[in-house]
Amino acid sequence: MASINDIGVAAAINIVTAFAFLLAFAIFRIQPVNDRVYFPKWYLKGLRTSSIQTGGFGSKFINLDFRSYVRFLNWMPEALKMPEPELVDHAGLDSVVYLRIYLLGLKIFFPIACVAFTTMVPVNWTNKGLDGLRHTNISFSDIDKLSLSNLPNGSSRFWVHLCVAYAITFWTCFILKREYQNIALMRLQFLANDQRRPNQFTVLVRNIPADPHESICELVEHFFKVNHPDHYLTFQAVHDATKLSELVLTRKQMQNLLDYNINKHVRNLNKRPKIKMGFLGCFGEEVDGIKYYTSAVEGLTREISEEKQRLRTGTKSIVPAAFVSFKSRWGAAVCAQTQQTRNPTEWLTEWAAEPRDIYYDNLALPYVDLKIRRLIVGVAYFFLTFFFMIPIAFVQSLANIEGIEKAFPFLKPLIEVDLLKSIIQGFLPGIALKIFLLFLPRILMQMSKFEGFVSTSSLERRAASRFYMFQFINVFLGSIVTGTAFQQLNKFLNQSANDIPKTIGVSIPMKATFFITYIMVDGWAGVAGEILRLKPLIIYHLKNSFLVRTEKDREEATDPGTIGFNTGEPQIQLYFLLGLVYAAVSPILLPFILVFFGLAYVVYRHQVINVYNQKYESAGKFWPDVHRRVVTALIVSQLLLMGLLSTKHASKSTPLLLVLPMLTIGFHIHCKCRYQPAFVTYPLQEAMIKDTLERTREPNLNLKAFLRDAYAHPEFRVGEDIDEEMGMTKAKSDMSPELVATRRGSWRNTPLPSKNSYPNSH
C-alpha cells in the first residue's frame, strides 16, 4: 500500500501539473490570437467581433501589456461574478443547472467533512487495531490509521460511525430535496417565461401505420382533424435525407481540400498544387488540385440540388413520422400526454424537442425495430462493461510495485529508486484508468444513437447513464475488487459470489490511497486541463493556417464545444459515490473531493460564460437522473458500510444500519412523486396561462407561418445556405428568420444588454 509519502509525491506532481495548466491558460487566454478559442461564446452571441488589442507592433497576435500578466488569476473571481439569473439568460438553464451539481457537491460534503474530521478522525486515530496486523502479510499505511480499519473488532466506538452514517444520510437527503425543489421551480419559471417557440406547439408522432388507401401525409391530416378537431393546426412530414446528408458531408470535405489547395497556391503563386489520384494520395497520376476539387464541389452541389428537389416533390422519401402542430399549447400538451389509439405501438405521440435538438436519423424507426435495437445494445453494453475489466485489472496489478517486480524481475533495480517508486504508485493507476475511459464516451454515444433516441438531449442522457454504470462497475467496483483480488488471490478464488458485498466493504478502507491519487489525476489536473482547451487550441490554429480564407471561415474553425453532459455528469457522480462511501470509513478522502468540486465549479462556470455553446436547451431535464444517481450512491455507501461493520463484529450497531437504506428509498420515492412530474409533464394550467396571455397580446398572430418549416431536415437548411454563398440561383428560400437564428446557435434572439464586461476585464 502507498504510504503518506507516496501520496505526498503524487499530490505534489498533480498540484504542479494543475498549476502549470492554469498558468498556461492564464498566459494563452490574453493573447489576441487565441481570443476565438477562449471566448468563442461572445463571438457567437455577436457581442465581440474581433480581439481586443493593446496597441503596438504585433499586438494583433501577442499581448504586450505586461500588467495583464500580473493579474493572471483574475478570471476566477470574474467567473463567479455573473449572477445566476443573468447566467440563465446568457447560457441557458441547462448550463446553470449543470453548474449546480458542483455546488451540490460542496453543499453536501463540506459539512460532512467538518463533522467527520472533528468526530471520526480522533476516534479512529486513537486506536491500535491495525498494529495487531503488523505480523501478518497485510500491508497498511499511516493513512489507514485514520480509517475505520484501525478500530479493533467489536469496539463500542462503532456507535460513533453509526451516528455519523445517520447524520450523513439525513444531511444528504435534506440538501438533495432542497435542490430538487429549487431546480423544479427554476425549470417551471424558465418554461413559463420562455418566448414563443415551435416546440411548444408541436408534437412528434411516430409509428404512423401504413394505409393502402392513403399516403402518410393524408393519413396524418385526417387522423388529427378527426381526433383533435378543435386544436389541430398543421403538420410537417419527415423526409429520409440520408443520401442528402452524405452528399453534404462529402461536399464539405471537398470544400476543405479546395480551400487548402487555394491557400497553398496563394502562398506560392508560381506553383500550382498537384495531387496524386492513387492510393492515399501518394501514387498515381498527378492532376491540378484546384481544378480537380473545384469541379468536384460543383458536381456535388448539383447533385445536392437534384436530391433536394427529389425529396421535396416525391412522397417516397417520407417516413412514417411527422411533426404535428396545434393551435395552442394546451392542444399540444393534451396530444403529447395521451394515448391516441387502441394499439399502443401506433401513433405514438411525444413532445417534439427543439428543432436543433432533434436527431433526425432515428425518426423513422418502427416500434419493433426499436425493441430489437434496445435488446442488441443491452447485450453489447453488457459485454463492453464486462470485458473492459480485463485490461484494467491487468494495469491495476502492474501498478502495484510488488506486482511489477514479480512480472518483470529485471526492472527491480529501476523500480527501487524511491522517486520512481512513488510516481508509479501514485500516478500510474489513475492515469491508466483515465486513458481507458477516454475512448468510452464515443462508443456509448454510438450505442445510444443505434438504440433509436430522437433528440440529442436524450441521447446524451442515455449515454451518461451508461457511462455512470460503467464507471461504477469498472472504476469503483473494479478497482476495489480486482485490485484486492490480485493481492489476496488465494483467499478470493475459494469464495462464493455471494460474499462479494462483504469483501468489497472490507477492501474499501484499503483502497483509500488509490482513490486519492485518482481524484488528483482525474479531478485536479483533469479539470485544470479542461480550461486550457489544448485540443481546440491546436485544431483552431491548424485550421487557421491551412483552411481559413474569410472571417466566416474563421468563425467556423472555432469549436466552442459543449459542457458534454454525457461524460461530465458521470464523472461528477463518481466523486459523489467516492465521497459518500468514504465519508464514514476514511474521511481523509473528503478534502480532496472538496478541492475537486470547488475547482471544477470555478473552471466550468468560466467555461460556460466564455466558451461553451450548448447545442440544445432541455431546461434542466436531466436533474432527475442526477438526483437518482446521488441517491443510489448513498444507498451503496450504506450497504458497504453495513458489509464492513458486519465483518468487524459490531453486532449491536450493524442492524440499526438496515434502517438507513429503507429510509433512503422512501425518500427517493417521495421526491420522485413530488418533483419529477415537473421534468416530465407539462401542466395544462401552465399551457392555458401562456396561451391566454399570447392571445391577448397578439390576437392576430399567424401561427401557421411561424411554424412553417420549423422542423425541416437540417440538411435542407444547410444546403440552402451554401447554395446562396456559391452564387447558385435558387428560386426561393424556405427559411424564416427564426430558423436562421436557430441554426446559428443563438438560443435567445433578443440581444442582451451589453454586459460584456466579464470577458474583457483581463
Separation of alpha carbons 234 and 221, rounded Å:
8
**How distant, in Å, are the alpha carbons of 198, 201, 315, 348 from that of 225?**
20, 16, 21, 16
Q: What is the dihedral of CA 204, 206, 212, 218, to 10 degrees?
A: 0
Q: Of 280 and 673, which CB lies nearer to a copy of itself in the complex structure?
A: 673
Largest pairwise CA distance in the chain = 90
State residue 213 phi and psi, 5-degree precision: -100, -20
Question: What's the min distance (Å) between Cβ of 339 and a copy of itself?
Answer: 4
Question: What's the min distance (Å) between Cβ of 186 and a copy of itself?
Answer: 12
Q: Of 339 and 545, which CB lies nearer to a copy of itself in the complex structure?
A: 339
Amino acid identity, position 116: A
**How distant, in Å, are the alpha carbons of 1, 137, 140, 142, 502 from that of 133?**
14, 8, 9, 13, 20
Residues that bind a copy of itself (CB under 8 A): 188, 226-228, 230, 333-334, 337-342, 344-345, 371, 375, 496, 498-499, 666, 670, 673-678, 681-686, 688
Question: What's the min distance (Å) between Cβ of 13 and a copy of itself?
Answer: 43
Q: Of 251 and 648, which CB lies nearer to a copy of itself in the complex structure?
A: 648
Q: Of 134 and 342, which CB lies nearer to a copy of itself in the complex structure?
A: 342
Question: What's the min distance (Å) between Cβ of 676 and a copy of itself?
Answer: 8
Separation of alpha carbons 700 and 623, rounded Å:
38
Question: What's the min distance (Å) between Cβ of 155 and a copy of itself?
Answer: 23
Q: Of 670 and 744, which CB lies nearer to a copy of itself in the complex structure?
A: 670
Q: Following DSSP, what letter does each residue of 262-292 receive, concatenated?
A: HHHHHHSTTS--EEE-SGGGTSS-EEEHHHH
Question: What's the min distance (Å) between Cβ of 251 and a copy of itself?
Answer: 42
**How distant, in Å, are the alpha carbons of 73, 128, 591, 758 from that of 602?**
12, 41, 17, 14
Q: Of 53 and 345, which CB lies nearer to a copy of itself in the complex structure?
A: 345
Separation of alpha carbons 223 and 695, rounded Å:
27
State residue 615 phi and psi, 5-degree precision: -85, -10
Amino acid identity, position 497: A
Cell output for 390 = 480485463
Q: Of 49 and 496, which CB lies nearer to a copy of itself in the complex structure?
A: 496
Sign of CA dihedral 461, 465, 471, 476: positive
Reported residue count of the chain is 762
Q: Following DSSP, what letter does each residue of 159-176 receive, concatenated?
A: HHHHHHHHHHHHHHHHHH
Q: Of 230 and 551, which CB lies nearer to a copy of itself in the complex structure?
A: 230
For cell 524481475, what's the residue?
409
Q: Of 111 and 501, which CB lies nearer to a copy of itself in the complex structure?
A: 501
Question: What's the min distance (Å) between Cβ of 403 and a copy of itself?
Answer: 31
Question: What's the min distance (Å) between Cβ of 683 and a copy of itself?
Answer: 5
Question: What's the min distance (Å) between Cβ of 188 and a copy of itself?
Answer: 5
